[in-house]
Structure formats: structure tokens, C-alpha cells
């Protein structure tokens, strides 16, 4: 009785056509009124391996437009980088935050 099949089985065994988990995620830096520009540049250089010129460019993009992409990474690394931004900022007394989004 336990291995008995029923007519619905074939229907339940559909091929999974759902969208796969995306491979890459954007780490998006958010603007605020209190974090210093220098600190944001420092974070972009140390956490996201940006050159000083690129770090300045991204910081200004966030400052002027409210948000900017700090980098694109596999999910776990993106999460870790966003967490690192939060803990460095908290330690320094700034509200700087990063979120992650599907790339
Ligand atoms: N808006 C901040 C200021 O004027 C600078 C800033 C830039 C803060 C980027 C956060 O992600 C940020 N001091």
C-alpha cells in the first residue's frame, strides 16, 4: 500500500521551470547625512578593493543619487561585505549601510 501510485503523481513530478537563484548580487551603498565622505572612500578601498579614484567616483555617485553599486559578488560574499560595511560603520559611529540586490 505504501508504494501505491496514483494518477496525480505524474502531474506533481513537473520539471522545475522556476527561475534559479541568481548567481550574482549587487552590494548597494546607501547615502546618509552623517557618514563622512572620507570614511565611505576608506570603506570602498578596504572592503571593495577600489582604487582611490574609483572609490571617490562611487562615493560621489551615492552622495548625489542616494545609492551606488560598490561591487557585484556571489550571494555569500555580497552578504559578508554588506555586514562588514555595517560593523565598520557602527564601530566608527556612522550610520552607513549597504544592501544587496539581485544583479
Ligand atoms: N552624504 C554624506 C555627506 O555629505 C557622504 C556620504 C556618501 C555618505 C556616500 C554615505 O554612502 C554614502 N557627508
pLDDT in tens, 18-67: 666 669 999 999 999 999 999 999 999 999 999 999 999 999 999 999 99
**Separation of alpha carbons 36 and 81, rounded Å:** 19
**Inter-residue contact 103 to 24 (CB < 8 Å):** yes
**Residue ranges lining ligand 1, Cβ < 6 Å:** 29-33, 35-37, 40, 59, 62-63, 96
Confidence at residue 4, expressed as pLDDT on a 0 to 100 scale: 44
Confidence at residue 3, expressed as pLDDT on a 0 to 100 scale: 41
Written out in words, the top-level CATH class of the domain with range 33-102 is alpha beta
- 53 Cβ partners below 8 Å, 6+ apart? none
**Inter-residue contact 101 to 88 (CB < 8 Å):** no
Instruction: Extract the C-alpha cell encoding 96.
Output: 552607513
- Measure 52 CA to ligand 1 centroid, in angstroms: 16
- Measure 74 CA to ligand 1 centroid, in angstroms: 26
Determine how many CB atoms are found less than 10 A away from the CB of residue 1.
3
Confidence at residue 65, expressed as pLDDT on a 0 to 100 scale: 98
Amino acid at each position: 500500500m505504501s508504494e501505491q501510485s496514483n494518477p496525480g503523481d505524474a502531474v506533481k513530478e513537473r520539471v522545475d521551470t522556476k527561475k534559479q537563484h541568481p548567481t550574482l548580487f549587487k552590494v548597494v551603498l546607501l547615502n546618509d547625512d552623517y557618514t563622512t565622505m572620507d570614511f565611505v572612500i576608506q570603506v570602498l578601498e578596504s572592503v571593495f578593493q577600489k582604487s582611490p579614484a574609483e572609490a571617490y567616483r562611487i562615493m560621489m555617485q551615492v552622495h548625489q543619487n542616494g545609492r551606488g553599486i560598490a561591487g557585484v559578488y556571489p550571494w555569500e560574499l555580497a552578504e559578508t561585505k554588506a555586514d562588514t560595511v555595517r560593523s565598520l560603520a557602527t564601530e566608527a559611529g556612522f550610520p552607513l549601510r549597504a544592501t544587496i540586490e539581485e544583479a
